[in-house]
Amino acid sequence: MNGTGIIKGLAVTIRHFFSTYFADQFGLGRAKAKRGTMMAEGLFTVQYPEESVTVPEEFRVIPFLVYTIEEDGQKKYRCTACGICAKVCPTQCIWITRMKNEETGKPVPESAEFYIDIDKCMNCGSCAEFCPFDAIKMDHDFRIASYTSGDSHIYNKERLGKPLEYYAKIRPTNYAQEEAQRAAKAQAG
Ligand code: SF4
Ligand code: SF4
């Protein structure tokens, strides 16, 4: 029958309109939780930037360097400056120098400088995948636009560094697996 498609389409729109209204007004979180996903019952879109969609664990933006805080309050980066991430990076946007012992001049397994050109990074995740020390991980933070021309898009070690707790929070499954492997290795001696 002519016009059936239009009526069906309007019915879908009305259903989503009311579903959104009830979710927002009466706190029926079920619809709100699905907003921005294919399962959305209310609005398909979110009111960005006030609202944003929860990204999946494997979501990848720019890499970050994992550090822990030592007893003396100093940051201890996991990175040993082995250079594997820089070698496997397809866009060659990682640049590292290794620290040296000031007295002996011998290399120390720690980076002195660590830079990533985030304009060249293609978010592939190879650096994180190949790092043998779980020292570099892919971040979820996609709000990295800069508003002034002077902002550097070459991130240094300080800017790339994030605490282990942050990694555990954004990638809980990966973190738990790695910690379980670490514990099993330590037990095996
Ligand atoms: S982040 Fe990992 S792969 Fe890259 S230099 Fe450091 S330890 Fe090596
Ligand atoms: S995510 Fe890919 S492109 Fe970006 S720094 Fe890592 S290896 Fe390079």
Residue 2: C-alpha distances to residues 5, 6, 8, 50, 79 (Å): 8, 9, 12, 41, 67
- Residue 184 CA to ligand 1 centre (angstroms): 22
Pocket test for ligand 2, best of 79, 93, 96 (most atoms within 8 A of CB): 93
Does 113 share its domain with 180?
Answer: yes
Does 81 share its domain with 168?
Answer: yes
Task: Count how many domains the chain has.
Answer: 2
Q: How many CB atoms lie within 10 A of CB 174?
A: 17
- Residue 44 CA to ligand 1 centre (angstroms): 40
Give residue-wise pLDDT tens across range 22-62.
Answer: 766 665 555 566 666 666 667 777 778 887 888 899 999 99
Does 68 share its domain with 154?
Answer: yes
Domain with 36, as residue range(s), is 1-54
Does 43 share its domain with 117?
Answer: no
Does 138 share its domain with 78?
Answer: yes
Give residue-wise pLDDT tens across range 127-140.
Answer: 999 999 999 999 99
Q: Which residues does residue 54 pair with via DSSP β-bridges, in sequence order?
A: none
Does 153 share its domain with 129?
Answer: yes
- Residue 77 CA to ligand 1 centre (angstroms): 10
Does 38 share its domain with 93?
Answer: no
Residues with CB under 6 A from ligand 1: 79-85, 96, 131, 133, 135-136
CATH code, domain carrying 180: 3.30.70.3270
Please name the residue that has the structure tokens 């830079």: 115
Q: Compute the distance between CA of residue 67 and CA of residue 147 in angstroms, rounded to an integer.
A: 28
Q: Structure pTM?
A: 0.83
Does 12 share its domain with 93?
Answer: no
CB 108 within 8 Å of CB 76? no
Residue 130, burial from CB neighbour count under 10 angstroms (0-12, 13-18, 19+): middle
- Residue 52 CA to ligand 2 centre (angstroms): 25
